[in-house]
Amino acid sequence: MLYAVIMAGGSGTRFWPASRKLRPKQLLALSGSDTMIQSTSQRLGGLVPADRQLILTNQVLVDAISEQLPALPASNVIGEPAKRDTAPCIGLAASLIAARDPEAIMAVMPSDHVIGTDEQFCADLKAAEKLVEDDPTRIVTFGIKPTYPAESFGYIQRGQSIEGDSDKAFAVEQFREKPDCETATKYLESGDFYWNSGIFLWKAKTILDALKANQPEMFAHIEKIAAAIDTPEYEDVLDREFKAISGTSIDYAVMETYKNVVVIEAGFSWDDLGSWQSLGRLHPSDQAGNTAVGDHIGIDTTGSIIFGDSDHTIVTIGVEDLIVVHTKDATLVAPKHAEERVREAVKLLEQNSRVDRL
């Protein structure tokens, strides 16, 4: 049976000041009328019902997520006791799913991707599910055919096609970290590289076995948590053992060394909503290249990203390539080329104990 795990523990600091600790970007409506996590859950609805969707997040967001996803059982929204990256998150989710169904297959995805269409996404998940059913030791991921030499995405190099599915499924040759522009251009020109979507599908047992083999210290803690499931001690064991884990990403823990990884060339469109400039790819721009979400009047304004509420008018005059974000208690103005420095502002607020603005 197919389960889905939605990872929703990110803080979204690059989307400050709209994204806050208690309302990070996955709880915001940045690409449409629904929030990012609502869209992710709804996308799965035709294939994975709500009772087989698990949300892994940090504990302070459990109530807010449950409120946004009322169809999910409350027990399916799991608060991690500490931030420990994606490998422990996935190990915990796999243990919970395996306790319900030892033969379960699980799809794993972030909560903040923009994907279309939902029907094609579910069709690709079904294709991945069949690949795992044919070979239960397989790990399947989804590659996005690149349209430009992106430096902000990881890459997957494809190898030989998989017999019987040669037009879409390939063995993974290797994973590559985010490249510089020159390397990304070579990847694009070769035709053998995909953007790494960060979406996976595997048997719960397979990923647990892989973590046991590659990350024995981490797995020892996960194993203790799993042994306590459905016991009165579970919450205490979860808190103690999860906090004791040294966190790492699933790419480093498993994907980069696992031998039986298959990549499917995704038929769905995809975007990793990583920073304010990504809004320019999701919303129409005016003739001057400005992307505005909210009420904006621009005079001699070009190439800018404007974000605010519909009941607050933002006027820009004689500016270019700016990011302007207005919220009820904070405003951001920054050059587009310096958007990565938004994180510096968040750190400065933390250092000055400005918790009311975090």
**pLDDT in 10s for each residue of the chain, 358 residues:** 999 999 999 888 999 999 999 999 999 998 888 999 999 999 998 899 999 999 999 999 999 999 999 999 999 999 999 999 999 999 999 999 999 999 999 999 999 999 988 999 999 999 999 999 999 999 999 999 999 999 889 999 999 998 765 578 999 999 999 999 999 999 999 999 999 999 999 999 999 999 999 999 999 999 999 999 999 999 999 999 999 999 899 999 999 999 999 999 999 999 888 889 989 888 889 999 999 999 999 999 999 999 998 899 999 999 999 999 999 999 999 999 999 899 999 999 999 988 889 8
Same domain, 178 and 52: yes
pTM here is 0.93
Domain that residue 119 falls in = 2-270
Same domain, 284 and 193: no
Same domain, 171 and 205: yes
d(CA 323, CA 305): 5
User: At a CB cut-off of 8 Å and minimum separation 6, what does 227 contact?
Assistant: 237
Antiparallel, parallel or unpaired: β 305-307 and 291-293: parallel
Same domain, 143 and 231: yes
Specify the DSSP element, H or E, that contains 79.
Answer: strand 77-80
| Adjacency order of strands within the sheet including 305-307 | 291-293, 305-307, 322-326, 331-335
Last residue of a domain, one of 254, 270, 286: 270
d(CA 213, CA 219): 9
Same domain, 287 and 251: no
**Torsion sign across C-alpha atoms 244, 249, 254, 260:** positive
We report the CATH number of the domain holding residue 138 as 3.90.550.10
Same domain, 13 and 142: yes
Same domain, 198 and 96: yes
Same domain, 23 and 120: yes
Last residue of a domain, one of 222, 248, 270: 270
Last residue of a domain, one of 220, 255, 270: 270
pLDDT of residue 239: 97
CB 53 within 8 A of CB 6: yes
Give the amino acid at 207: I
Same domain, 110 and 187: yes
d(CA 163, CA 322): 50
Alpha-helical regions (H) of 33-117:
36-44, 62-68, 86-100
Same domain, 119 and 238: yes
Cα dihedral: 185, 188, 191, 193 (round 10) = 100
Same domain, 246 and 334: no
Antiparallel, parallel or unpaired: β 313-317 and 139-144: unpaired
Same domain, 43 and 181: yes
Domain total of the chain = 2
CB 248 within 8 A of CB 87: yes
**By C-alpha distance, which of 75, 45, 92, 347 is closest to 215?**
92
